[in-house]
Every structure is written in C-alpha cells, then in structure tokens.
Amino acid sequence: MSDPNLFKVTSRLSEQVDRPGGMTAQIAIQRVTHEMSAEASRSREVVGESLTQLEQLCKEQTVGMDAVYDVATAVIDVAGLFDERVLCDAAYSLCELTDRLRTQEKVDWSAVAVHVEALKLIYGVDPRNTAQFRPVVDGLWKVTDKYKEPAEEAPAE
C-alpha cells in the first residue's frame, strides 16, 4: 500500500466568504426565493414535458430501461431544485426500479406505467398539497422492492 501524501490547501473561496460585507443567510434565502420565482413556471412545464415523454415511452414500449431512467432523473433534476419532495420520491422510486431492472437485465413495463400514472397524479396538484400522496409513494416502493437484489435483503438470523 502506498503512503498517502497529505497537505493543506487554502481555497480562495474560504478567504472570500469572510470578507466584510455580504449578507446574512436569511437575506440570501429571501433573494433566492425571489430569483427562483421567475423560474418556477417554466420549470413546472419542463417537468410536465418529461412526464409526457415517460407516458409515450410506456405506450410504445420500444426502448430499454436506460431511456426511462434518463427521463425519470430529468424529473428530479428540475423538481428537486424546488424541493418537491413527494414528486421527487415517486420519481426516485422509478429511477431505482429501472436501475434494478437494467442491472438484472429485465423489463417490466406495467411497473413503469404504475409509476408514471402516480407521477401524473402528484404533478396535477399544487406542490404545497402533495403530502396526501405519501401512501401512493409508499405503494410505488413496494412495486420497486419486488426487484430488490438478494444482496440487498437483510441477512438471515
């Protein structure tokens, strides 16, 4: 085993944050909320486009699980920046499902379709009122866990 070389690095960022001036975290968050409100509407449209794309993939059933995985991650990529937890959890379950399926070289379009329907349902309501869909997301995880790999199961006593 080689000896690790350890050394101290002082980044410019560490010097910059402590300079006089700047703003409090509270003001920064207020400013971010203002800046992001201009992006919210377009972001929601983009998430909607991804869901339409997923629906289309389910209808055609011609692509592999990789393609579904890519679109599902696109949902989290955008919705995740707005802290849309329930929608992201549902999309995360779809990512996990398709990741497991492709690893096991399997295809299950009905499991994918259930996820897409649930995603559309959650997307259809105001993001502030999505907590009611938590049991739906729990159900999606049950579908995904059908493809749990043996190594992921708890070891037997």
Partner 1 sequence: MRVNLERTRLLLCDDNEQALSVESAMFRGFGMHRQYKASNAKEAMGIISSREVDLIVMDCGMPDMDGYDFVKWLRTEGPGDAAYIPAILMTGHAARSLVEKSRDCGANFVISKPFTPAVLLQRVFWVAKDERQFVRTAGYVGPDRRVRNLGPPPGKKGRRSTDLSLKVGAAKDPNMDQYEIDSLMKPQKVIL
Question: Which spans of this chain sit near partner 1 (rule: CB under 8 A)?
Answer: 1-9, 11-14, 16-25, 28-29, 31-36, 38-39, 42-43, 46, 69, 72-74, 76-85, 88, 91-92, 95-96, 99-100, 103
Our CB check for partner 1 shows the closer of 100 and 133 to be: 100
Please check whether residue 123 is in contact with residue 48, taking contact to mean a CB–CB distance below 8 angstroms: yes
Our CB check for partner 1 shows the closer of 14 and 110 to be: 14
Residue 83 is inside which H or E element, if any? none
Our CB check for partner 1 shows the closer of 59 and 104 to be: 104
Q: Which long-range contacts (CB under 8 A, 24 or more apart) does 130-136 make?
A: 130/84, 130/85, 130/86, 130/87, 131/86, 133/86, 133/90, 134/86, 136/90
Our CB check for partner 1 shows the closer of 130 and 136 to be: 130
The single residue listed with the structure tokens 């203002």 is: 34
> What letters, b where the CB count within 10 A reaches 16 and e where it falls short, cover 16-38?
eeeeeeeeeeeeeeeeeeeeeee
CB of 51 to partner 1, least distance (A): 14
